[in-house]
Amino acid sequence: MISRRSAWALAVLSVLASLQDAQALSMRLRKHHRNPKTAARGLHRRLDPGPLDIDNLYDLYYSTFLTIGGQELEVQLDTVRVVRATSAAPSRQARFSHRNGSPELWVRAKQDFAAPVESSNTSLTIRYGIGNFEGSLTNAEVVIGDVKIPQQSFLTYKQGSINNVFQAGLDGMLGLGFDEGSHVLTAQRQKTSDDSGRTLLSNFYVANPDEPRTMSFYMSRASDPDSEDDGVFMIGKPEAAYESVATAPAMPVHVNTHAGDFQRWSTYVDAFEVNGVNISLPTSVVDGAPSNRLVANMDTGTSLAWVPTQIVDAIYKDIPDAHYFADTDQYTVPCLSSVRVAVWFGGQRIPIHPMDLTRVQSQTNSDGTREYFCTNTFIHTSALATQSATLDMQLGDSLLRNVIAQYDFGTAGNPSTANIRMVSTIKDELASWNTFLQARAKQVGVDAPAPITELPGGSTSTPPQTGTTTASDNGPTPSAPAGAPPTIPSDESTSDGTSTNDNTSGDANSPTQNPDAGAYTTRMPAILLALLSSLVVFAF
């Protein structure tokens, strides 16, 4: 029998243990479709139980809530968005010309903040590729989840043209980058000569030194018809359901040494596997990148993936009935077609769900009929030209939806100790393909094909060894598959190959139904150009 004193001691220990874990913070994420007003004319989205008219279905925002000055505000999560900033105070003009992974918190208040909120006369202009705004430097208590940050510096929106964020129903953005890239911190240091302008995450870690300096993400897939879970964002120790990511292989963060630039959440890509073979990668343009590996920014604020031309062509050009439009630098493919793609990081294979390789677009014809076509979510890196010295590719939510990801800041002020861990959420690639066929058929209003019973193709590949020849300018040169690596479960030991039109053979890439008939018209380049101009991507 336990004595009263022992029972009391156990109770105290239990309370202490609960307090120790109390400051680990988990918040549910919400996902937002882009507002139709920002898309190409004639493209719309309708939420009804019938066929969906989908506008850029995969161009999503992931958001969470915080409270400032008595107002609950919903903000987009952003790990690596690239910005420029101009600082303007009444007594001086100072320009910050560097680019960085954005750590800024900024909000547009719905009404005047309740006291106590301290506003200053210092303004910053933040410029993204999707627009810009001017905000005043502000200090206030910020509540995120159950945690209060007593004195948090942030920007309060004053004016600008960043309407796509507001049209999505959001009130601002929570940057999750490193302190070293914060314009707010720089401006606050100029005013007070201290670190009171630290990012929200840094202030959390300072106030909770026993918590790991990590943040973890799980992002759901909006096109999953059965999913009501938008995802979760965890600061510090992850929830039990996601804690396996804490022991996954740690991938080092690439330390950015480029003059005038700041640190981003970048790591190294070993290989891209397409239909069971590794395509040869181009040589990295980033100083200090390891041989035969590419530097990739891992960005929750980017919907798509921006990768070298060789990778895009290897994924899409051999899909039957795929069309490439040079003036928009984009592919269209039959909506029920896909390929098997995986990305290798540090010897770890991350399969990509077929849903995340294409996105549905629609066009209403003059006779009222609806055309559906699908476009690539892995996009050529021509938009990265001005960033060529600091990154090779930008991997956004089209990859991150396939993993539980943990970003570890390491030792404060020392990015060489930072790392990224990932755990694949695709445990059954065959099941993911059948989910894709069912959900995509519903999206484009056709009958779903019969479920496939085996994945097309042969064995999965292994990362290329040092000395692999780089791809030529004429396109990708596949390397021979080398058998399934030991990290791949036996029930995922096959991969799909080039398809035929017989979806019952096990080699099918495209079911009999083709909802894209008539989609490849002379209007298509103009439609795609409008779509590209409306994309929400990382900024310059």
Is 329 within 8 Å of 316 (Cβ atoms)?
Answer: no
- Each residue of 73-104: pLDDT tens digit? 998 887 654 443 444 443 332 222 223 347 88
Indicate whether 540 belongs to any domain. Answer: no
Highest mean pLDDT among 150-159, 362-371, 452-461, 466-475: 150-159
Indicate whether 222 belongs to any domain. Answer: no
Is 75 within 8 Å of 170 (Cβ atoms)?
Answer: yes
Indicate whether 36 belongs to any domain. Answer: no
Of residues 52 and 238, the one with the higher pLDDT is: 238
Beta strands in 271-368 (DSSP E): 271-274, 277-279, 294-298, 305-307, 323-325, 330-333, 341-345, 348-352, 358-364
Tally DSSP H helices, then E strands, for the chain.
8, 29
Indicate whether 9 belongs to any domain. Answer: no
Shared domain for 522 and 454, answered yes or no, is yes
What backbone phi and psi angles, to 5 degrees, belong to 236? 85, -145
Helix residue spans in 168-249 (DSSP H): 183-192, 200-207
b/e sequence 386-418, b meaning 16+ C-beta within 10 Å: ebeebbbbbbbbbbbbbbbbbbbbbeeeebeeb
| Mean predicted confidence (pLDDT) in 52-61 | 36
* pLDDT recorded at residue 23: 60
* pLDDT recorded at residue 230: 72
Last residue of a domain, one of 180, 215, 250: 215
Indicate whether 515 belongs to any domain. Answer: yes
* pLDDT recorded at residue 540: 28
| Pairing status of strand 348-352 against strand 172-175 | unpaired
Q: In what order do the strands lie in the sheet with 323-325?
A: 323-325, 330-333, 370-376, 358-364
pLDDT of 123 above 50: yes
Shared domain for 99 and 202, answered yes or no, is yes
* DSSP character string of 78-118: ESS-EEEEEEEETTEEEEEEEEEE---EEE--SSPPPSSEE
Shared domain for 66 and 133, answered yes or no, is yes
pLDDT of 516 above 60: no
* pLDDT recorded at residue 530: 43
b/e sequence 225-251, b meaning 16+ C-beta within 10 Å: eeeeebbbbbbbbbeeebeebbebebb
Shared domain for 130 and 256, answered yes or no, is no
* pLDDT recorded at residue 129: 62
Q: In what order do the strands lie in the sheet with 393-395?
A: 266-269, 294-298, 393-395, 305-307, 378-380
Of residues 451 and 168, the one with the higher pLDDT is: 451
User: Of 138-147, 215-224, 451-460, which gets the smallest average pLDDT?
Assistant: 451-460
Shared domain for 387 and 443, answered yes or no, is yes
pLDDT of 419 above 50: yes
Contacts of 226 (CB under 8 A, 6+ apart): none
Of residues 5 and 141, the one with the higher pLDDT is: 141
* pLDDT recorded at residue 46: 22
pLDDT of 140 above 90: yes
Shared domain for 151 and 115, answered yes or no, is yes
- Each residue of 206-245: pLDDT tens digit? 999 999 999 999 988 766 655 556 788 899 999 999 999 9
Of residues 99 and 185, the one with the higher pLDDT is: 185
Of the candidates 131, 77, 75, 136, the residue with the CA atom closest to the CA atom of residue 101: 77
Could you count the other beta carbons within 10 Å of the beta carbon of residue 223? 23
Residue 116, preceding peptide bond in cis (omega within 30° of 0): yes
pLDDT of 512 above 70: no
CA-to-CA dists, residue 130 to 100, 161, 162, angstroms: 16, 8, 7
Shared domain for 205 and 295, answered yes or no, is no
Indicate whether 256 belongs to any domain. Answer: yes
Q: What percent of the chain has pLDDT over 90?
A: 42
* pLDDT recorded at residue 260: 66
pLDDT of 40 above 60: no
pLDDT band at residue 130 under the 50/70/90 scheme: low
- Report the C-alpha gap between 317 and 333 in whole angstroms: 9
Indicate whether 18 belongs to any domain. Answer: no
Highest mean pLDDT among 185-194, 287-296, 448-457: 287-296
Of the candidates 21, 114, 128, the residue with the CA atom closest to the CA atom of residue 76: 128
pLDDT of 457 above 90: no
Count: domains in the chain: 2
- Report the C-alpha gap between 125 and 133 in whole angstroms: 6
**153: CATH:** 2.40.70.10
User: Of 93-102, 182-191, 346-355, 370-379, which gets the smallest average pLDDT?
Assistant: 93-102
Residue 60 pairs in a beta bridge with: 33
b/e sequence 488-502, b meaning 16+ C-beta within 10 Å: beeebebbbbebeee
Residue the block writes with tokens 């849903």: 355
- Each residue of 292-333: pLDDT tens digit? 999 999 988 788 899 999 999 999 999 999 999 988 889 999
Global confidence as pTM: 0.75
Of residues 495 and 255, the one with the higher pLDDT is: 255
Q: What percent of the chain has pLDDT over 70?
A: 66
| Mean predicted confidence (pLDDT) in 114-122 | 87
Shared domain for 400 and 529, answered yes or no, is yes
pLDDT of 363 above 50: yes
Average pLDDT, the chain: 73
| Pairing status of strand 71-78 against strand 172-175 | parallel
User: Of 166-170, 347-351, 428-432, which gets the smallest average pLDDT?
Assistant: 166-170
* pLDDT recorded at residue 384: 61
Shared domain for 272 and 206, answered yes or no, is no
* pLDDT recorded at residue 29: 57
User: Of 170-184, 348-362, 398-412, 428-442, which gets the smallest average pLDDT?
Assistant: 170-184
pLDDT band at residue 30 under the 50/70/90 scheme: low
Shared domain for 152 and 72, answered yes or no, is yes
Is 275 within 8 Å of 495 (Cβ atoms)?
Answer: yes
- The helix (H) or strand (E) run that includes residue 234 is strand 231-235
Shared domain for 307 and 340, answered yes or no, is yes
Indicate whether 32 belongs to any domain. Answer: no
User: Of 4-8, 46-50, 384-388, 482-486, which gets the smallest average pLDDT?
Assistant: 46-50
Last residue of a domain, one of 215, 249, 281: 215
The residue type of 17 is A
pLDDT of 466 above 70: no
Domain containing 100: what range? Answer: 60-215
**What are the structure tokens assigned to 424, written together?**
């694949």
Shared domain for 375 and 447, answered yes or no, is yes
* pLDDT recorded at residue 328: 85
pLDDT band at residue 506 under the 50/70/90 scheme: very low
* pLDDT recorded at residue 225: 55
